[in-house]
Amino acid sequence: MMARKQATEAPAVSNGSPKKRSSADSDNHNVKRPRLQESTDKARWRLSSEGGRHTWHYLEDDEAAKEWPQSYADKYFLGMPLELPELPKATNPLDAVRNGLTFFEKLQLPEGHWGCEYGGPMFLLPGVVIARYVTKNPVPWYYATEIKNYLFARANPVDGGWGLHIEGESTMLGTTLNYTTLRLVGVEADHPVMVKARATMHKMGGAIYAPHWAKFWLTVLGIMKWDIVNPVPPELWLLPDWVPIAPWRWWIHMRQVFLPMSYLWSKKWQAEETDLIRELRNELFVEDWNKIDWAGNRNTIHPNDNYHPKTAFLNTVNWLLVNIWNPVFRTKYLVEKAEAWASELIDMEDENTDYSDLAPVNAAMNTVCCYVRDGPGAYSVRRHVERLDEVLWVNAEGMLCNGTNGVQCWDTAFAIQAIMDAGLTEDPRWRPMLIKSLEFLEDQQIRENVKDQDKCYRHPRKGAWAFSNKDQGYAVSDCVSEALKSVIILQKTPGFPTLIDDQRIFDAVDTMLTYQNPSGACSSYETPRAGQWMEVLNAAEVFGNIMVEYEYPECTTAVLTTLSLFKKHWPNHRTAEIDNFITRAVKWIKSNQKPHGGWYGNWGICFTYATMFALESLASVGETYENSRYAKKGCDFLVAKQREDGGWSESYKACETGEYVEHPTGSQVVMTAWALVGLIKAKYPNNDPIKKGIKLIMDRQQPNGEWRQEAIEGVFNKSCMISYPNYKFSFPLKALGLFATRYPDEKVV
């Protein structure tokens, strides 16, 4: 892109370490440290999207800035005023939908989808910055400046540390990694923010109390020694496929992180030592660096990080690996064979995603692996670094790292469904927006399985959609389903073109049908390849439920409701299998209900989110409040949680504890919408609570049609929260729209 070339690289001036550089080589490395500014000029940032690939550009050149004006979406993401006119005040839910859509339409990107920051986790940005540092691709000054601003803004206001995620208490994972990141982008150790963070880090015991992933990154940087990292042996990849613990059976995110980690662990690779690294060795620890007992602190961990303590079994395995396996049995032959196979698997992942990789954690690690293996100038390294830009996002606070390379397909699918639920798909006012959305989904459908699918242990994906874009290309059961649902809805609406022919729709359905587990439920990327017992090998400490696929009411609902819709239009395609799928899925949904009547949510917070989906599942087969004790119990659960003001308010703590916990800031628009969608779908017979909730959503709508950001909405692995900023549009619109079409004559205000 033109703008990328015009943006200047970091000037060769350093405000980094004041000390004299020691060697010519490290000199070279040090002087590349970015020149930090107070702030960038927000009016110079632009988001570009090409084929669903998002990158932010900083236009230092005035001419270029003039030629490429900022869009509403750019300004909105950057927290700049949009100066949109006030809309006529909505007096009924349908007008509120129209006002909301008027605003939301302005955020649609030219390619037809919606963008958003996808932050929350506080361990992603460090990976990107560290990968760039150790591969000597320093971030440009405008990234560095905004990374500094973001991390400053997100430091815990009380103790100055950082958590696992933006709403969490300070942890060693967050604090050690983000402190280090700030130093790498050029912040001085004596800056007050750093002094405060360091004090907290030291109070918590210093970096030896960091969990596995932090120890890994700090060791790659050369701040720690490999002895402090619990073993990550690539030879596990040599186990025959039938072995119950073979890594191909692990949850995809775990095995794709384990893979590059194991390669670097095996190589015991460390970055070139620089002055800055030597300084960090002094800053991060309480004790004298030279006297640290590295091997003796492999299992030292701060309680705040120890969400899932390692099992006695894993500790024993680690002990055996360190004391017996590594010194005695880990022969050169074995090491070479294991590294070669790991390297090949890394190549397959890179090739299948054009170096985007599954998510930023493994993308950053694969970048380092390619650097170690292929050398600094290699295409693999350059391409990786380029693609890492696609996970960076700029908001009002600064620059952060998204949890994936975007939420493109997922958010677009929900936007379309919200308009459908309001009965507005045929309204010509919204047609251009909808046609563009359809065109985007058409473009993003994955047309083929990956090359060597079985060899790299990938699940079929032909006809699927990914969560973000087709470059990333990982099918997820519910992402395929929600996208397909939206495509069917639009293509079956009079006046819309058929961009995706029947065969492509059948391809998607065929892939969806591969996702049902023996229990009847669906998981996320794959069907489970091993049992929950695999958690005994969960070495990450900071997350729960990460080793294998689990079963999710959200994913199950998405597949089942889409198959029901599909069946209505194509009653003859794999009819018996689809009927069987639906029956078994509904049965599983019922069995997954908690005794209190709600369902536990794995990807959104928490019972409110999953109960909405479960009630939708039941409604799709005609089970509602009046005729189903499951639906009745689900509704009663939701209604019992409604607050005085008509809203719902669930805290992320519910995901961690498994109990419904109220958010301290009170009712949340998104959760209120989720609860209402559930109640309306289940035909809850008493309108009063529903009307109260609808009123709250309408009252919170701003004069320009938008809703403001409130508490965080999403979660993964029980303990880590993640933002879904577009949910504050899609779900309130859906709830209002459903209400308006279900009860057209009801007055709310």
Residues at the contact surface with ligand LAN, assessed by CB under 6 A? 253, 257, 359, 361, 403-404, 410, 467, 476, 478-479, 524, 543, 554-555, 603, 716-717, 722
β-strand partners of 394: 399
- 489 DSSP assignment: H
Distance, CA of 372 to CA of 134 (rounded, Å): 10
Nearest distance in Å: CB 483, ligand LAN: 11
Closest to ligand LAN by CB, 552 or 637: 552
Nearest distance in Å: CB 713, ligand LAN: 10
Nearest distance in Å: CB 467, ligand LAN: 5
Closest to ligand LAN by CB, 56 or 613: 613
Collapsed DSSP state (helix, strand, coil) of residue 605: coil
DSSP 323-377: IIIIIII--HHHHHHHHHHHHHHHHHHHHHTTT--SSHHHHHHHHHHHHHHH-TT
Cβ 4 vs Cβ 48: under 8 Å: no
Measured over the CA atoms of residue 710, residue 716, residue 719 and residue 720, the dihedral's sign is negative
- 223 DSSP assignment: S
Closest to ligand LAN by CB, 277 or 711: 711
Closest to ligand LAN by CB, 143 or 465: 465
Nearest distance in Å: CB 256, ligand LAN: 8
Closest to ligand LAN by CB, 422 or 483: 483
Distance, CA of 13 to CA of 374 (rounded, Å): 29
Distance, CA of 466 to CA of 452 (rounded, Å): 19
Tell the residue number behind the tokens 């639009």, with chain if given.
Answer: 490
Nearest distance in Å: CB 718, ligand LAN: 11
β-strand partners of 55: 48
Closest to ligand LAN by CB, 546 or 676: 546
Rg (alpha carbons) of the chain, rounded to whole number: 26
Distance, CA of 195 to CA of 198 (rounded, Å): 5
Pairing mode, if any, of strands 714-716 and 399-401?
unpaired
Does the active-site annotation cover 41? no
Distance, CA of 208 to CA of 134 (rounded, Å): 21
Nearest distance in Å: CB 465, ligand LAN: 10
Active-site residue (options: 478, 501, 699, 745): 478
Measured over the CA atoms of residue 465, residue 470, residue 475 and residue 477, the dihedral's sign is negative
Tokens in use for 509?
Answer: 């359905």
Nearest distance in Å: CB 514, ligand LAN: 16
In 10 A of CB 239, how many CB atoms? 14
Closest by CA position to 388, among listed 360, 415, 410, 366: 360
Amino acid letter at 520? G
Closest to ligand LAN by CB, 380 or 556: 556
What residues are annotated to the active site? Answer: 478
